Chain A
């Protein structure tokens, strides 16, 4: 079965969705990511969806779930590069992804992750 690759970059995991998401692929990604976070003890997950043109409520929910799962495993999730049409669809579907951090592009997403980690570190010390 086709799988979406999960790349490891230091303390972060990088997922780039380059194909059309269908339901089983989305669930497989959710599963793989949960395991990868634990295995690599990742602190942050960056999901690039700039190539994603079509979403439905299920995919929207899976993205939200992935964020929730990583939070439980103590990793931050940032979704980057969402297209206007996708954003409008998700809002109209009533899936505005609460609790998910978003960024315009990968670079800003990385910065957001690093900033969040620095804040966490500060909180741990305090």
Chain B
């Protein structure tokens, strides 16, 4: 790994000038997001990366980025990618940070060669290392994005299935969004728990916000209704849009055992009547 060490000492010899060149390069690039990152911050990040890169190279780090010698460099890049993913950079803009080092670095080699120092030609080596580091930023970038998406997904799952108490002994779940097995499970558990907690004998499942009902969704709904019935609570499915009613009949889904209502208002009226309440306008 003598070439790597050579590359390292080459950078060490001209680190300040290289950083200046690189900063100029980055500031001129169209991919720089001045709205998201300030120049001093960028300079700090660049200097930090250059230092980590030089140290890794001087230690004679091998080609393989997963090697211990690269851990410092990886750490710097991970932090940078994560921050940029959060700030809203694109993967290209993030990876360009590393790739843009090539031009000033190659210019440095050129100057060295012109000065008669042609003992080594680290061009190929430098390209390989920088390419790998650049790809690594993309990888981390993607990973942090996925983390964000996963977190939002679980939050959405929790938020999108609130069980509300509509009246003494009546609970309701307004369902919004597509129903899949995972969500049905959450809805079912929450609804059944609410039935126990509120001693509710009636539960209204409102599907106004469910875009499509296919056989699978219907099956999930029927399961929930059966489970509630087993516990001694009656379920009403409301918010069935005309389109959905047609689909249900065309698909041959049997909803005969389930009380269904067109709107949530109808369901609430039904529930109140079932509990023995009468709703009428105030006199006067």
Q: Report A's interface with B, CB cutoff 8 A.
A: 79-84, 86-88, 90-92, 96-97, 102-105, 108-109
Which of B188, B230, B233 is the most central at the interface, judged by chain A CB atoms within 10 Å of its CB?
Answer: B230
Check A96/B229 contact, CB under 8 A, given A84-B189, A84-B196, A88-B192: yes
Q: Report B's interface with A, CB cutoff 8 A.
A: 188-189, 192-193, 195-196, 199-201, 223, 226-233
Other-chain residue from B189, B230, B233 in contact with A96 (beta carbon distance below 8 A): B230
Contact call A102/B227, Cβ cutoff below 8 A: no
Number of A-B contacts (CB under 8 A): 56
Q: Please, how many angstroms separate the alpha-carbon atoms of A90 and B233 in the complex?
A: 15
User: Please, which residue of chain B has its CB at the minimum distance from the CB of A88?
Assistant: B227
Residues of A within 8 A of B229 (CB): 96, 102
Report the minimal beta-carbon distance from A59 to chain B, rounded to whole angstroms.
13
Q: Please, how many angstroms separate the alpha-carbon atoms of A5 and B199 in the complex?
A: 27
Q: Please, how many angstroms separate the alpha-carbon atoms of A79 and B230 in the complex?
A: 8
Question: Which secondary structure dominates where chain A touches chain B?
Answer: mixed
Q: Please, how many angstroms separate the alpha-carbon atoms of A87 and B196 in the complex?
A: 12
Q: Please, how many angstroms separate the alpha-carbon atoms of A97 and B40 in the complex?
A: 71
Residues of A within 8 A of B231 (CB): 82-84, 87, 102, 104
Contact call B201/A108, Cβ cutoff below 8 A: yes
Q: Please, how many angstroms separate the alpha-carbon atoms of A109 and B192 in the complex?
A: 18
3 A-B pairs with least C-beta separation: A84-B192, A103-B232, A102-B232
Residues of A within 8 A of B193 (CB): 84
Report the minimal beta-carbon distance from A8 to chain B, rounded to whole angstroms.
23
Contact call A108/B232, Cβ cutoff below 8 A: yes
Other-chain residue from B199, B200, B201, B228 in contact with A87 (beta carbon distance below 8 A): B228
Residues of B within 8 A of A80 (CB): 232
Check A91/B227 contact, CB under 8 A, given A84-B192, A108-B232: yes
